[in-house]
Structure 1
């Protein structure tokens, strides 16, 4: 029997723990302030993925808080697409690319009164106040949590303080291999620099994201880090046997640490027999619910699973579930969860409450 939640779901909102907002602005020139469909109407280079997310689409779906990543690509990243123009060779290059993205997020918050950068609990509370039922729809504000997706831009661990001042609150040591950690499918664990980075993170209570770390590196981090932990966008390996996905042992270990796993909306990770040539309609929101339920059944609780959609992760359009055209459709997950047997209160925890819990634990007062 699953542990039941008791808090009211009348003000259900979504927390999406993975969107590549600044990366897509940098690499694709996408305008987050415009509707996704308007972005699609513009001329696009061959192979460019479609615009899927935007501020307007997210607000329409009640995505109250989004984790926007700082993501930079090494020039040696396998399978680089022609549109992925900006890559790094050195840590200094990575820093400059990430600084551009950080500045992009800060400008978004400065220029749009419906975006607020979340760096403190006070910021979080102010955003949540705008999502009360009595608040007019056009007064609702989206909170933006900046996450470093791969720590290569941090020249040395002690420099993390500088990045925290810029506004990041979540760090994933690896996406592809970094000086700090091996990544999924790569031999190795945390490096000595990686342990030093965790020590600095602990001093500032930074939220640790173990997504995309190698299994040994993630185990090292779970053992060494005493602060709050998430896997922002990681699916159960049960549905796709790939080192990028989480083993049952990892899921159990994350739950033991009261961590939260954000389930992605990438068809390859939702249906084990999915093939890139399959049509979009062959995967639905119910497949996402199955992945959510798998984590719940394995851990005996709804407390350790959330949403990390990654729907703008450079996938071809048909690699997203049938119901998902833009991020405005993320609200359909609420009905899919209810149809899948989850109560209203459980759906509220899965869609937002669990990730909010981790944010509240890790943010400083202010």
Structure 2
């Protein structure tokens, strides 16, 4: 275990496309990222997606013990790679999305080092296994595991088209879905990153059902118009941006103007900083070494300055989400290195309490409040 991770007993990453990579790119995340890189060298996957940065061994050794694992299906109009599934209509999106949900459930059943987190009790069990929470309930759940550490996965839908109609959200919720982002590109529910547009009537209905079941709203990838409308319309308690950076440093519709950052904070929400060089430095040269952890710290600090505290920022790396080793800051190699972000924050004057909030505490607060008992 890297010695520096003793400062960070548990790290939370709010955005990883695990099912997408395993099912579509045939990346076996039971292997280390370096092993996968060697297998993929000069392959079409490496050329299209970059060198792998995620593997369960890397997460466990780096103490990234909790993540938001996405259910992500892409529309045919914006296919990211030849040979990978994409949908043309809601029914196809539903089929692809359910296959990813089923993958997570099978994975958790098959491997003691993986567990789905759908309740407060299951969250407490994961925290206990990393030594950051003690409770009788956690002990009773954790006793069935044979390994001291694990990766807990909270299911997040990125782009809501797999939900056939708002009332069908109940079925997804019963099967473990806890966070929904209405858009990736524009969906039937909301305007998205590239095509734009507003929140649709169907989208408003979906928000109402989400509030009814206590589902967390993820505004990442929503167009600015639909984002502001959703923040105004959503009557649920919990809002996040799982993987978005400040618009000031990444001035595209993909990212958050200061007003949006303030509105998310006013709702008690959290924003996950994306570790993609192009989103960390707007004039990025394309060279890995030209972006450093100073650029990550700048993003974190900006969110803290806008919101007036360290209560509303975390990490949402989006690793292996179309970016690879060459697309992340100089000091980072795989997800095992997330602890270096916390160390950089400490070295640049953040207090230990604030760093603990950023690396895990803020996301844990949202989950403890939002998950059913």
TM-score by length of 1: 0.92
Q: Is the 8 A contact 1:25 1:31 kept in 2?
A: yes
1:273 is matched with which residue: 264, 274, 283? 283
CA distance in 2, matches of 1:50, 1:100: 25
List per-residue Cα deviations over 1:207-242 (Å, max 9, x = no partner).
Answer: 110000011111111111122000000000111211
Deviation at 1:185, TM superposition (A): 4.3
For 2:273, the equivalent position in structure 1 comes to: 263
Deviation at 1:12, TM superposition (A): 3.9
1:286 is matched with which residue: 294, 299, 304? 294
For 1:27, the equivalent position in structure 2 comes to: 24
CA distance in 2, matches of 1:11, 1:316: 24
Deviation at 1:10, TM superposition (A): 6.5
Deviation at 1:316, TM superposition (A): 4.4
Give SS of 2:92's match: helix
Q: Is the 8 A contact 1:160 1:200 kept in 2?
A: yes
For 2:252, the equivalent position in structure 1 comes to: 242
Q: Is the 8 A contact 2:8 2:339 kept in 1?
A: no
Q: Is the 8 A contact 1:12 1:352 kept in 2?
A: no
CA distance in 1, matches of 2:196, 2:53: 34
Give SS of 1:139's match: coil
For 1:124, the equivalent position in structure 2 comes to: 123
Question: How do 1:117-196 and structure 2 match up within 5 A?
Answer: 117-132=116-131, 138-196=147-205
Deviation at 1:275, TM superposition (A): 2.9
* Runs of 4+ deviating beyond 6 Å: 133-137
Deviation at 1:49, TM superposition (A): 2.3
Q: Which moved more, 1:150-159 or 1:326-335?
A: 326-335
Which protein has the bigger helix share? Answer: 2
CA distance in 1, matches of 2:7, 2:213: 34
Q: Is the 8 A contact 1:14 1:62 kept in 2?
A: yes
Are 1:253 and 2:300 matched, yes or no? no
Deviation at 1:186, TM superposition (A): 3.3
Q: Is the 8 A contact 1:11 1:131 kept in 2?
A: no
Are 1:208 and 2:208 matched, yes or no? no
2:227 is matched with which residue: 206, 218, 234? 218
CA distance in 1, matches of 2:177, 2:55: 20
Name stretches of at least 5 consecutive residues in structure 1 with no aligned partner: 1-8
CA distance in 2, matches of 1:245, 1:174: 13
Q: Is the 8 A contact 1:68 1:145 kept in 2?
A: yes
2:311 is matched with which residue: 279, 303, 307? 303
Q: Which moved more, 1:285-294 or 1:185-194?
A: 185-194
Q: Is the 8 A contact 1:18 1:309 kept in 2?
A: yes
For 2:75, the equivalent position in structure 1 comes to: 74
For 1:5, the equivalent position in structure 2 comes to: none
Give SS of 1:69's match: strand
CA distance in 2, matches of 1:123, 1:258: 23
Q: Is the 8 A contact 1:188 1:216 kept in 2?
A: yes
CA distance in 2, matches of 1:315, 1:10: 28
